[in-house]
Amino acid sequence: MAPGTDVGRYGIPFDTGFPITEVRLMQEAGMSAVDTIVPGTKHAAIVCGKGDSLGTPEPGKIADILVVDRNPLEDLEVLLNPYLVLKVGRLIAHTD
């Protein structure tokens, strides 16, 4: 399972970026925080045929890192307000 959609038109109100609505529904259905994060990272990369280069922080993979100021396993909402974002290992956003 991987959250998200390939439907980006027809006036359907899907989240862009982080699929927080879907993550909230997954938690309401009884999934743990980690069981909602892994599908959105590792599983999404596998579904897209990119599991060998994306989806998990491992040597040789492309590094997209989101840094937050609290533990997302305790509150997934923290993922909506990152402190720092690295894309392909480069700083693209930083808040103070």
Domain ranges of the chain: 20-94
3-state secondary structure of 79: helix
pLDDT at 8 over 60: no
Q: What is the pLDDT of residue 88?
A: 82
Q: Which residues contact 30 (CB under 8 A, 6 or more apart)?
A: none
For residue 47, give both structure tokens.
Answer: 């579904």
H-helix or E-strand containing 46?
helix 44-47
pLDDT one-digit tens code per residue, 33-77: 999 888 888 888 898 899 999 888 888 888 788 899 999 999 988
Greater pLDDT, 63 or 84: 84
Residue type, 84: L
Give the Cα separation of 47 and 52 in Å (integer).
Answer: 11
